[in-house]
Amino acid sequence: MLIARIDTVSIYPVPGNTQDSAVSLMLSVGNAGFPSTVQRWSLEVTSLGQTFTAVGPVHINGVVDAPGKLGTKLDLDKEDLAVKTARNPVARDSHVNGVLTFLLKDTHENKLAAKGTSLILHFDDSQGYSYQTSKGVISTKKKAE
């Protein structure tokens, strides 16, 4: 029995490919059942009447400012949740925190960052059971600091 909670969302143009957007999620995955790895991540974003789907997060290296946590650095390589939860099962009654970044090709940032945009993260456990987060809705837009 897995559950995930999205804490923060960052939407930004892909450096060098501004026609594409990246969506980075800081989240936590918890487990109330048997230990399990987590796999087959996908992100569904609905904005301005359109739905965009990104299958499989991308792995990113580098240290960045943590979204929503001014002055806190985040090592994207070490905090990649897809890697963390694929290698080591999430234990019963525990949780794992990390970052997932999804690439949405041919989708400009302004299409995704509108007020009212919703996000749902989908994923499976090692037995093939499917899960999803509650729908997250962007209510305000903050510029990166």
Per-residue pLDDT of the chain (145 residues; tens, 9 = 90+): 899 999 888 888 888 888 899 898 999 999 999 999 999 999 999 988 889 999 999 988 888 777 666 677 888 888 999 999 998 999 999 999 999 999 999 888 888 878 888 999 999 999 999 999 998 888 765 555 4
Give the helix ranges, DSSP H, for the chain.
81-87, 109-112
142 in a structural domain = no
143 in a structural domain = no
| Structure tokens, 19 | 């026609």
Query: What gap in Å lies between CA 11 and CA 54, rounded to an integer?
Result: 13
- DSSP class of residue 105 equals T
Which strand (E) or helix (H) includes residue 63?
strand 63-65
105 in a structural domain = yes
144 in a structural domain = no
The dihedrals phi and psi of 134, each to the nearest 5 degrees, come to -65, 155
- Enclosing domain of residue 43: 2-137
CB-based contact 43:13 (threshold 8 Å): no
For residue 80, give the CATH number of its domain: 2.60.40
CB-based contact 102:22 (threshold 8 Å): yes
24 in a structural domain = yes
| Structure tokens, 117 | 């945009």
Which strand (E) or helix (H) includes residue 99?
strand 94-104
74 in a structural domain = yes
Number of domains in the chain: 1
